[in-house]
Amino acid sequence: MNSAAADPLDRIREFPDPPAEDGVADELQLTVIEPKRGWQVVDLRELWRYRELLYFLTWRDIKVRYKQTALGAAWAVLQPFATMVVFSLFVGRLVETAPGGVPYPLFVFAGLLPWTFFANGITAAGTSVVGNQNLVTKVYFPRLAIPISAAGAGLVDFAVAFGMLLALMAYYGVAPGAGVVLAPAILLLLTAALLGAGILLAALTVAYRDFRHVVPFLVQFGMFATPCIYLSPEVVAGPRGQLLLPLNPAYGLILNFRHALLGGPFDWYALAVSAAVGVGLLVLGCLYFRRVERTFADVI
């Protein structure tokens, strides 16, 4: 029996016991395994049953990331901090403060922090299934646990780097605004968008290995389509661009995450559009992943 036919995701039909012959136990029964067809929703009960596996996969990714490193978790701070220094040296000389009187280095770091979380999470989740091919082909478990754990490991990096952001806010004397209460909800929406894109790319990468080369390019390009370093995105994109840019789910979420922490008016249009796109991307990614996951063991 091949791996596709033995997939526990398949439907199981049980028939009445056949007539007992020659002392065969009456409790014997015939079981027929048939593949599911069509689009399938996420089985939350199954994911909950495998919650310990999800935890250990996430912990494994965290340990592997910092194994045999001299700086350890400090790399989570170094990446956005080094990028902030570069932009501050070359762009910060043209303007000392961002809108609202926020120092430019703090302005940039507050945008680069969620972007780094978003970009690294997509990259890790997009290649996670291919990177775990030995595990996928040997034992059954919900395949969604692989990209979810890869993206979840990035939350640890975000938490470490967030401490650096708080230190910079204290150094520059910038207090969070009243909108900071919305920051956790915006981060949750950003995580949903990250998971949607990562899960979709993880499934596509199994069938089309070209995506391993496409994802880094898209991530690099995406930073310039996200208000991480721009003081005024409308000047760069223009009025029409302001209506289209929120179709990038990271745009409105990162823009308003920074406003929530540093103060400033919320862009409700960008927040609503980006949140809707992010949630839609999560639903689409999960549906497509569930549709093709039974073939992973055969084509990976």
- ∠ Cα 202 143 10 (to 5°): 125
* Same-domain pairing of 129 and 17: no
How many domains does the structure of the chain reveal?
Answer: 2
Q: Are residues 21 and 156 in the same domain?
A: no
What's the farthest any 2 CA atoms get from each other in the chain?
93
Question: What dihedral do alpha carbons 39, 44, 49, 55 form, nearest 10°?
Answer: 100
Host domain of residue 248: 41-289
Whether residues 120 and 4 share a domain: the answer is: no
Q: Identify whether residues 25 and 69 lie together within a single domain.
A: no
Same domain membership, residue 94 and residue 32: no
Residues 16, 56 share a domain: no
As a whole number, the mean pLDDT across the chain is: 80
**Could you read off the pLDDT of 197-239 as tens digits, one per residue?**
999 999 999 888 878 888 888 887 777 778 777 766 665 666 6
What pLDDT does residue 140 have?
81
> Do both 127 and 92 map to the same domain?
yes
Q: How confident is the model over 17-71, as pLDDT tens digits?
A: 555 555 544 556 665 545 556 556 677 888 888 889 888 888 888 887 777 666 6
Same domain, 166 and 150: yes
- H helix count then E strand count, the chain: 13, 4
* pLDDT attached to residue 276: 96
What pLDDT, on a 0 to 100 scale, did the predictor assign at position 19?
Answer: 54
Tell me what pLDDT residue 198 has.
92
Query: Using an 8 Å Cβ cutoff, are 262 and 110 in contact?
Result: yes
Cα radius of gyration (the chain): 23
